[in-house]
A and B are shown apart, each in its own frame.
Chain A
Amino acid sequence: MSVGVYVHVPFCLTRCGYCDFNAYAGLHHLASRYVRALVAEASLAAPVWDREEVVSVFLGGGTPTTLEVENLASVLAHLRDSFDLTSNAEVTIEANPDTVDRPKLAALLEAGYERLSMGAQSFDPSVLASLERVHAPDAVRRALSDARAVGYANVSLDVIYGAEGETLDSWERTLRETTDLEPEHVSAYALTVEPSTPLGRKIAAGLVPAPDPDLQADMFALACEVLGGAGYVHYEISNWAKPGYECLHNLGYWERRPYAGLGAGAHSYRDDRRWWNVRPPLEYLERVESGSLPIGGEERLQPSDAHLEEVFLRLRILEGIPASWVEPERSAPFLESGLLEDRGGVLVPTERGMLLLNELVLALAG
């Protein structure tokens, strides 16, 4: 089985109000300790994955590019030593425009981070401000041209829609700017409000309006139209790629391939068992430094859990689920109302169906 390795870097320059990831601003003094711990954890965890072929590595966060490039290079080098990476493994690093310049990008590429996933979020300054992103729209253009200049041939841009102040027009401009930059891959996310975030609290207190789901639905349709028109294939609810540039690592999650997670709070999955590291970075450091695996919890999936996951993950991607999994009377209303399509015995959500995926899953996974 081909495995993906995820490495979590929990540091950020600032904390954005909508973000509920395991990420912290102001912990940068822990950076070199953290890198040493990642290396140590890789050695501890590697025996579990002994005979497995690793087809992808993904450094996410947080903002991995807040780390020094030497550190990043050493993490990847160590992964190559500890795991059986294939020669053409997909190696992605997430970056923010403000944390990379041309020399750093050149060094990252040189170190083997061949796929760059850049958080652009929006090209509208007022939307960026309401997302509390620190960079200016120009920074994205500059970072991307730097990446191209040093030889990056596989770049993804992340954009977010539905923040306060965003209109269909501003979203369309962001989409056009995005396609004009010709990244190989685009992730477009509906802004999701988590109650525990500063944004969630502001909305609960009535200080900021909640995103309008109908407007977000229109924005989703617009993204499908603009990105599809520019030659991107819509291969997952929030992901589009030029043919051949789908993110292999992320497809692993949706296809339920095994994955190894390293770093604070990272999840691992294999053979219907999922386990996760402790979340607080300091606790993670202490656990690894004491020489043990920093596992914080685990679950064993019952057959019904596994089935539910299989259905909701595979419906996210074009792969869909075999029609034979579902009693015909369950799927019929959705085929009829155009939320689901039967593509030669495989049930796949339509564009409208993707937006109502929870409803589809509840009806089909019964």
Chain B
Amino acid sequence: MTDTSQIRNFCIIAHIDHGKSTLADRLLELTHAVADRDMREQYLDKMDLERERGITIKAQAVRLAYETGGLAHELNLIDTPGHVDFTYEVSRSLAACEGAVLLVDAAQGIEAQTLANYHLARDAGLTIVPVLNKIDLPAADVEGTTAELAELVGCEPHEVLAVSGKTGEGVTALLETVIAKVPPPEGSGSDPLRALIFDSSFDAYRGVIAYVRVKDGVLRTRAKLHAAAARMDWEAEETGVFAPEATPVPELGPGEVGYLVTGLKDVHQVKVGDTITSQGRDRAHEPLPGYREPKPMVWSGLFPAEGGDYGALRDALDKLKLNDAALVFEPETSTALGFGFRCGFLGLLHMDIVKERLEREFDLELIATAPNVEFHVVGNAEVGVVHNPSEMPQPGTYERVEEPVVLATIITPSDFLGAVLELCQSRRGEMLDMKYLSTTRVEVHYLLPLAEIIFDFFDQLKSRTKGYASLDYESWGYEPSELVRVDVLLHGEPVDAFSSVVHRDKAYQYGRAMTERLRELIPRQLFDVAIQASIGSRIIARETVKAKRKDVLAKCYGGDITRKRKLLEQQKKGKARMRRVGKVDVPQDAFIAALRVDQKAEAKK
């Protein structure tokens, strides 16, 4: 157990690609945490997905030993995800720290994600250490970015450190500054135990492993524990620290960060943000503040491309859920896509990650419906919650619909300001304010419906600003909106997978775009197929796939018969694989293509 005065708990907050993982690698080297031969790039990002995408999905906590001024220090670096989808998880990681290194790429400057996480850290009362990274780059604007950063955190420019995670320049000074400036943790070993769970993982052999920060008291191996929010009792099968590999220690004292093997088999019993205390009379009276249940923001139907894979998809989701407490799902039956699951995600990135893991780790081929937000349907003094556009009641049966709105922060070079404002306006945005960070960069705040954000907004923002603008957002609550459900009908039969809830002003555009696309994708049948878009019983767009007139082999002589028979058998198999909507045969590819363009192309018109 280390004396609290020698402990420093800190995290690094940075925008994607600003060099957080590389800096962490240098810290590991400098403190000899990893033997040279075991060192690899992005050491702390363990998942393939994290390494490929350069993002952090799961939090990590690593203990570093560093001696300075004749004193051995225990530094706990908590590597957090930075993405908006994981804001709650970030806030819990921040709550485990006393200080934050605010890392900014000297060539890129402050980005929206930097700001969002900076505000979270400041609100959590953390000491901020402003640091400029990548000063070795030729494009680095050390002076300009230093000024921006000093302005943001309210310090003198000389207090902003300059490092290069790549060359290691300035990293020692950074460690010294963290020790000098970040306060040691408070808390007493004699108080009742209170430890914060800031993340968890699932190990097939050992069960759920909780990542904890002890606030008060001592967490001992074999201690009888109680989790406040989960209302669960369990025993600490093992306590330990990541140094950086898991290393058992007999106890974790106040201020220390480490792990706890719970032996539990269900990750939902170990909730991020929960407080662990002792059982019985040593139980703490007050849990730590800030616990929240994970709340899905984005929903999508996931269906196996092969109908027979439903069971495999269910098993895969069950397994993923062991490791991902934020993932929720319920069975869904679609007339068009068959049996699948309506899944709730923290955001688009979370959705992408889950989909990719299902396909990659479980070898499934999936069809995903266009993502949608959760709508609140208000009427008769009741609020109905709708996760699936096809379950949205018809107009006239309710008082109003409310949709989630977010406060979006966009930072853009001023050259692209016009394009950014235009995009936000076209997405039903309401501008709150605008501020020049420097003569060339602007920070804009908008209230935007979340539904607009999840619909291709980020890609649009990037393409309109040549990739320079950055976006972050936070929840702003629900607001009433003129939303309607648009259905798509094939030969009079609604196709539930294509139903969408859109703003009244965009309903016609959506209906027309979907019907036009489906006309291209649906093969000709033996009869004219009407493709219609409707609001309630009102048709707002219509296209027709004309009946097919010719499907015959012109020549069929002695040498053609075998091949012809095989072609017919192929054609028959193809037909059997098609999905039937009423009388209309639709190839699976058409569904996939229609859903894909729905997600990608709509706003590009």
Contacts and interface: CB of A to CB of B under 8 A. Distances in A.
A237 B565 CA distance: 17
Given A213-B550, A355-B549, A358-B571, A238 B561 contact: no
B552 A309 contact: no
A355 B554 contact: no
Given A308-B569, A337-B526, A356 B562 contact: no
Contacts of A305: 565
B596 interface: no
A266 B571 CA distance: 26
The binding surface of chain B is classed by DSSP as loop
Interface residues of A, number: 43
Interface stretch (A169-177, A214-222, A227-235): A214-222
A213 B575 CA distance: 20
A261 B526 contact: no
B205 interface: no
A309 B565 contact: yes
Interface residues of B, number: 24
Contacts of B549: 213-214, 217, 352, 355-356
Given A274-B562, A308-B568, A359-B526, A192 B550 contact: no
B565 A312 contact: yes
A250 interface: yes
A361 interface: yes
A267 B558 contact: yes
A276 interface: yes
Nearest to A4: B558
B563 to A, nearest CB: 10
Given A190-B550, A192-B553, A316-B556, A361 B568 contact: yes
A362 interface: yes
A266 B559 contact: yes
Contacts, number: 95
A356 B548 contact: yes
A257 B526 CA distance: 32
A180 interface: no
B555 interface: yes
B529 to A, nearest CB: 14
Contacts of B551: 213, 355-359
A154 B554 CA distance: 23
A299 to B, nearest CB: 6
A216 B548 CA distance: 12
B552 A356 contact: yes
A316 B561 CA distance: 12
Contacts of B569: 308
Nearest to B569: A308
B570 to A, nearest CB: 11
Contact of B552 (A250, A253, A354): A354
Contacts of B565: 305, 308-309, 312
A237 B554 contact: yes
Contacts of A265: 559
Contact of A362 (B556, B558, B561, B572): B572
Given A220-B550, A358-B552, A276 B557 contact: no
Contacts of A240: none
B181 interface: no
Contacts of A361: 568
A269 interface: yes
A316 B560 CA distance: 14
A237 B562 contact: no
Interface in A278-328: 299, 305, 308-309, 312-313, 316
A214 B549 CA distance: 6
B326 to A, nearest CB: 47
Interface in A344-366: 352, 354-359, 361-362, 365
Interface centre among B548, B557, B558 (most CB of A within 10 A): B558
B119 interface: no
A245 interface: no
B292 interface: no
Interface string A190-201: 111000000000
B222 interface: no
A312 B551 CA distance: 13
Contacts of A24: none
A152 interface: no
A253 B550 contact: no
Contact of A253 (B526, B546, B558, B568): B558
B558 A259 contact: yes
Q: Which 8 A-B pairs have the closest CB atoms?
A: A217-B549, A357-B552, A213-B550, A189-B554, A267-B559, A358-B551, A190-B554, A217-B550
Given A213-B548, A220-B550, A358-B568, 4 more contacts: A217-B549, A250-B557, A267-B562, A309-B561
10 contacts: A192-B554, A238-B555, A253-B557, A274-B561, A309-B565, A313-B556, A337-B526, A356-B551, A359-B551, A362-B572
